[in-house]
Structure 1
Amino acid sequence: MIRLDVTMPRLFSEGVTELQVQFTLPTGSLTALVGPSGSGKTTLLRLLAGLETPKRGQIEVNDSLWLDTDRRINLAPQQRSIGYVFQDTALFPNMTVLENIQFVTPPHSERLLDQLIQETGLEPFIRQKPAALSGGQRQRVALARALIRRPALLLLDEPFAALDPVASQQLRQLVLKLHNHWGTTTLLVSHYETDVRVLADRVIRLTQGRIQSDQPVLKTLTGSPQSEQIRSISFDNTQQEWVVETDTLSLRSTNPAWSQLKVNDFIQLTF
């Protein structure tokens, strides 16, 4: 369980006022933090990571105090069990994919490193440097690097914003798979409804540094069918597969029946 209660002065569009936020994140939850630009979303991530300090506040993670201004407790970022994925990935440009992840890998974690590289699909790229990767591949490296220490809290700050629609869809599915597999408590900052609908089980909306709403996100029950409208369909001659794009997914199949599908048709999905 993660508990946050912070207050700090902040400059918003209507002038200087206080960011004042209280919330609790259940262990294993994935919460989306949404709201207009400048509402305090990234500031909250930075407070949790220890990159900023509030005027007053307390942050408790699994019965461990990371911050208590009254008791003068304020753990440094490296002392907090945090994984942080930035919009710009913040990878070391002079290091390979493998070296970027190894840089933060704890001792005797070779098996875990191999597992993460496999699950993120990075095996073909481990000897390449970030400049040779696509935006989606760089975010996969950043995600693997953030998870390698098995953090108590994973912070995702607009990880899909700089990606094209296909790369965004693929990364969303990877984030969801890793979140479910690793049981990480995750806080996601996003401006996009699709991110919230696909990933989050709860959405907190901020306005001018205050919580405007805090609601669960309704999900389709596991194992039940779900329909999604087809936004585009094409045939990949190289792979000899049909490629169907919906609002949230990129799907591929060699099934010849897919040749009969059209844009705006609905396709049944089962999770």
Structure 2
Amino acid sequence: MIEIDVVMPRLFTEGARDLQVKLALESGSLTALVGPSGSGKTTVLRLLAGLEIPRQGRIVIDDSVWLDTYQRINLSPQKRSIGYVFQDTALFPNMTVRENITYAAPQNEPTLVQQLIEATGLETFVNQKPIRLSGGQRQRVALARALVRRPKLLLLDEPFAALDAPASQMLRQVVRDLHQSWGTTTLLVSHHEGDVQALADRVVRLVQGRIETDEQPSVMDQAGRRVERIVRIDYDEQRRIWLVETTFTTLQSSNPIWGKRSVGDVFYT
């Protein structure tokens, strides 16, 4: 469980007021933080990361206190178990893909580095430097680097914003697969409805520094399953995989069960 209760003065479009956010995030959940520009979304991420300090507040992660202004507790960013993916990736330009990921890894964890390289589909780019990569590839490197520390909290700040539609769809799938397989609690900031609908199991809307709504996206059924509809399905003979485009994302799978599915079919994830 991740609990955040913070108050911080900020200047919003309608004037100065306090950002006041109180949230409890279930472990393993993926929550989208949405709202208009300047509503305080990125500030919340920075407060969790320890990059900004609130006037008053408390942040507790699995009974570990990261921040308590009354008790004068404030762990440095280095001591907080977080992975942070920025919109601009912030990769080291003089390092290769493998070196960027390894730099953030715990000591003696080459297996973990290789697992993430494979999980993000970066095997053929491990010796390339960031300047030689596409925007989507750089974001996959940033995601692998953020996860290599096995953080308790993964913060994603508009990771899809600068990507074209195909790259964005591919990265969504990578994020969702890694979130599910690694069980990391994730907080995603996004302006794009497609990102939210494809990934989030909870949507919190901020307006002028206050929570306006807190709800599940409409694509979840009563059992808590995500409902998706197939809009295109093809088989790639050369790679022997199914390419499935749904209402919200694109999947790639070698599972023969997709051969029994058709456009318009509904399935649950």
> TM-score, normalized by length of structure 2?
0.88
Q: Report the secondary structure of 1:71's partner residue.
A: coil
Gaps of 5+ in 2: none
* Structure 2 equivalent of residue 227 of structure 1: 229
Determine the C-alpha separation between the residues in 1 that align with 2:54 and 2:104: 27
* Structure 1 equivalent of residue 44 of structure 2: 44
Determine the C-alpha separation between the residues in 1 that align with 2:131 and 2:213: 40
**1:211-266: CA deviation from partner (whole Å, max 9, x where unpaired):** 00111234256999842445xx99999979996755423357999xx9xx9xxx63
**1:149-206: CA deviation from partner (whole Å, max 9, x where unpaired):** 1001000001111111111111111101100100000000011111111111111000
8 A Cα contact 1:4 1:22, kept in partner: yes
Identify the match of residue 266 of structure 1 among 259, 264, 267: 264
**1:62-116: CA deviation from partner (whole Å, max 9, x where unpaired):** 1111111111111110010000000111101111001101111101211111111
8 A Cα contact 1:33 1:188, kept in partner: yes
8 A Cα contact 2:81 2:152, kept in partner: yes
Q: Report the secondary structure of 2:145's partner residue.
A: helix
C-alpha RMSD over aligned residues = 2.7
Determine the C-alpha separation between the residues in 2 that align with 1:13 and 1:6: 20
Determine the C-alpha separation between the residues in 1 that align with 2:157 and 2:74: 22
Determine the C-alpha separation between the residues in 2 that align with 1:13 and 1:198: 30
AA partner of residue 94 (structure 2) = N
Q: Report the secondary structure of 1:248's partner residue.
A: coil
Q: CA 1:3–1:109 in structure 2 vs 1: closer, same or farther (change >3 Å)?
A: same
Is 1:146 the counterpart of 2:146 in the alignment? yes
* Structure 2 equivalent of residue 188 of structure 1: 188
TM-superposed deviation, 1:10: 0.3
Number of positions where the alignment pairs a residue of Structure 1 with one of Structure 2: 262
8 A Cα contact 1:8 1:18, kept in partner: yes
Q: Report the secondary structure of 1:88's partner residue.
A: coil
> TM-score, normalized by length of structure 1?
0.87
* Structure 2 equivalent of residue 61 of structure 1: 61
AA partner of residue 229 (structure 2) = S
8 A Cα contact 2:230 2:244, kept in partner: no
AA partner of residue 115 (structure 1) = Q
Identity %: 61
Q: CA 1:199–1:134 in structure 2 vs 1: closer, same or farther (change >3 Å)?
A: same
Q: Report the secondary structure of 2:70's partner residue.
A: helix
Q: How does 1:97-112 map to 2 (within 5 A)?
A: 97-112=97-112
Is 1:90 the counterpart of 2:90 in the alignment? yes
* Structure 2 equivalent of residue 199 of structure 1: 199
* Structure 2 equivalent of residue 21 of structure 1: 21
8 A Cα contact 2:198 2:249, kept in partner: no
Is 1:74 the counterpart of 2:95 in the alignment? no
Determine the C-alpha separation between the residues in 2 that align with 1:136 and 1:246: 20
Q: CA 1:253–1:24 in structure 2 vs 1: closer, same or farther (change >3 Å)?
A: closer
Determine the C-alpha separation between the residues in 1 that align with 2:225 and 2:159: 28
Q: Report the secondary structure of 2:214's partner residue.
A: strand
Determine the C-alpha separation between the residues in 2 that align with 1:241 and 1:33: 34
Q: CA 1:135–1:161 in structure 2 vs 1: closer, same or farther (change >3 Å)?
A: same
Q: CA 1:15–1:102 in structure 2 vs 1: closer, same or farther (change >3 Å)?
A: same
